[in-house]
Amino acid sequence: MYSKKILFALLGICLHLFALGQQIVNKKSLGAFDTQTHSKLEEINALVFKPEGYETVPWPKLPDSINFSLFASDPKAKKLEENKLAINPLLAFRNPISFKKGDIYIGYDQNWFRLSNYYKYNNDKKSVEESRRWTNSINADPKSIGPSYAGLQYLEYVNRDALKLINADTALIFTSNTKFKFKDTVDNYEMITVYLLKFDLGVGKVYYYYPIGERMKALQEINQTWGVVRFKPDSEFTHPDHSGHIPKPKEPDLYYGKFAFLNNPDQVKREEENYRKKNLNGQAAKLVLEGVNFARVKDWGNAKTKYEEALKIDPNHALAYLQLTWLALEQNMEKDARNYWASLSKLQPTSPETWFVKGMIEKRFNQLDNAFITFDKVLADFDSLYYKAHLEKASIYVMRNDQVAAEKEFEAALLIFKKESEKAKRGEKYRMMQLYDFYLAKMQYARFLGSKQEFEKGKNQLEDFLREYEANQNSISLGIPKTIYGRIYPENLADVHFWLGIFYVNLKDENKCVEHFKKAKELGKVLPAEVENLLKI
């Protein structure tokens, strides 16, 4: 004999299968709705209507004091979420809610695709038509949609007769594994998503939230409210109003296929030409990267060959000229460095990197006054956060034996990293700083302090770097925000440990110095003979 619990479970499965067999949406006409449009989904040429029997749900505005997010690992995150839910319990559903009838809630949103985005972001070899077909097909394939939206499980396609009622090209219905705690401390709601596709334009999604165990009720509501989102006739599509966007677009979007009638032919031609140049630029950039890898191991000949190959593909590739300038500097070829810089400055006259490398040419060939002026220009005219200019000014002060001024420049460079990191932790807009750059700044300052025999202070700088490095490595697993990005090479870490060993030798801490020298050796550092002898003792 089956228990009552098992019988009810089997009954639920049978009812669910019956519902699928009967089709979820079997309407021959639209249900009853308010005659006035509730809202517009302009990006996908759709209108939203309130179903009869539903009420509009107010959406309380959160006060500024709690209208932000924290990482889940933050001790304050749970309390912040509780405060938000106390003001607006509907936030538990994670999507804006617009309509309610009894214990059923409906929300909606939109996604769109554009030919403009193809020209901006496409990096494969698909043509425009191939991209169009691929975009339409992948957005109509439940096997592709389900994994894209965590927890969605496909239920059924909607029949063509029902699609005609709302001018959709395809509609799919998904259930979800995700549960929600609505006005409760335990899971008590779940969701069904109606996924509405308009080929060449975008997707409308309608979310139905219902109490756990009430799926049949929710499916009936989907059938009765078919038409809450409706696409207008394709010929009525006009450019959405983007006047309030920040920054305001200079030109309207471009569209695929049946909506291409809105495209300006001259704009399309310009985008096609820019796309062609971008592809050439990408090919050239790949060669430049190969050249950089050769330069990194001081294989100057192959590095130069790669940079020159890049310029054959894209004669205006600024990065190739920049790397050739650095290459000439490495080889003390003043005339070549200045010639390459002249080409670079025509292509990128306002780039801080352009002017920084000019200062490096002047510094290398002993025009220190000019170099100092150029580094000041980088900071004043182009980028006040360009920390390398501070480091080079510090270097010039060291050459002039002005230790006090040099230290101020080192500290100014490191202050940039500190301030941007603090902004990131506060959730403010900040500059993404690179770990390798932080390594360079810390290493140069530490070695400067070592030259002044300030060993404790120099050691602290490098240990601070290692702490930041560990935090950077573990930020994802710890759920804390990254404040410095990128990576450094093993040889860079080896140098940090080697110099920590040097500092601890001078601080007469034998255990620590041996520990760091061993670590440097493990990371590939070739140690001086006297250090190797120390490790053998």
Residues 6+ apart with CB under 8 A from 361: 325, 329, 334, 337, 338, 341
Short-list 254, 124, 139, 250, CA closest to 198: 139
DSSP 182: S
SS (H, E, C) 100-112: EECCEEEEEEEEE
Residues 6+ apart with CB under 8 A from 383: 352
CA pair distance 52, 32, nearest whole angstrom? 5
Q: What is the pLDDT of residue 20?
A: 43
Q: What is the pLDDT of residue 480?
A: 56
Contact 487, 438 (CB under 8 A): no
Give the 3-state secondary structure of residue 162: helix
Rounded to 5°, angle at Cα 402 from 397 and 407: 75
CA pair distance 469, 461, nearest whole angstrom? 12
Enumerate the β-bridge partners of residue 206: 108, 194
351: left (phi over 0), alpha (psi -120 to 50) or beta: beta
Residues 6+ apart with CB under 8 A from 216: 15, 16, 19
| Residue environment code for 335-372, b if the CB has 16+ CB neighbours within 10 A, otherwise e | ebbeebbebbbebeeebbbbbbbbbbbbbeeeeeeebb
Q: What is the pLDDT of residue 537?
A: 60
CA pair distance 385, 269, nearest whole angstrom? 38
Short-list 105, 108, 128, 6, CA closest to 48: 108
- Residue 42, Cα to own-chain centre: how many angstroms? 26
Q: Name the residue type at position 464.
A: D
Residues 6+ apart with CB under 8 A from 456: 503, 507
Residues 6+ apart with CB under 8 A from 159: 23, 25, 26
Give the 3-state secondary structure of residue 453: coil
Cis amide prior to 247 (ω within 30 degrees) = yes
Burial tier of 41 (Cβ tally within 10 Å: 0-12, 13-18, 19+): buried
Long-range contacts of 15-18, Cβ-Cβ distance < 8 Å, separation of 24 or more: 15/216, 16/215, 16/216
pLDDT in tens, the chain (537 residues): 444 444 333 334 344 433 444 578 887 888 899 999 999 999 999 999 999 999 999 998 888 888 877 666 667 888 889 999 999 999 999 999 999 999 999 999 999 999 999 998 887 778 999 999 999 999 998 888 866 665 678 888 898 899 999 999 999 999 988 999 999 999 999 999 999 999 999 999 999 999 999 999 999 999 999 999 999 999 999 999 988 887 888 899 999 999 999 999 999 999 998 888 888 788 898 999 999 999 989 999 999 999 999 999 999 999 999 999 999 999 999 999 999 999 999 999 999 999 999 999 999 999 999 999 999 999 999 999 999 999 999 999 999 999 999 999 999 999 999 998 888 777 788 888 889 999 999 999 999 999 999 999 999 999 999 988 887 777 655 555 667 788 888 999 999 999 999 999 999 999 999 999 999 999 999 988 888 887 776
DSSP 158: P
CA pair distance 172, 154, nearest whole angstrom? 8
CA pair distance 181, 89, nearest whole angstrom? 9
φ/ψ of 308, rounded to 5, equals -70, -35
401: left (phi over 0), alpha (psi -120 to 50) or beta: left
CA pair distance 214, 175, nearest whole angstrom? 13
CA pair distance 44, 382, nearest whole angstrom? 41
For the chain, the residue count is 537
CA distances from 202 to 199, 255, 367, 387 (A): 7, 11, 59, 44
Give the 3-state secondary structure of residue 65: coil
Residue with the two structure tokens 């690992």: 73
Q: How many CB atoms lie within 10 A of CB 178?
A: 15
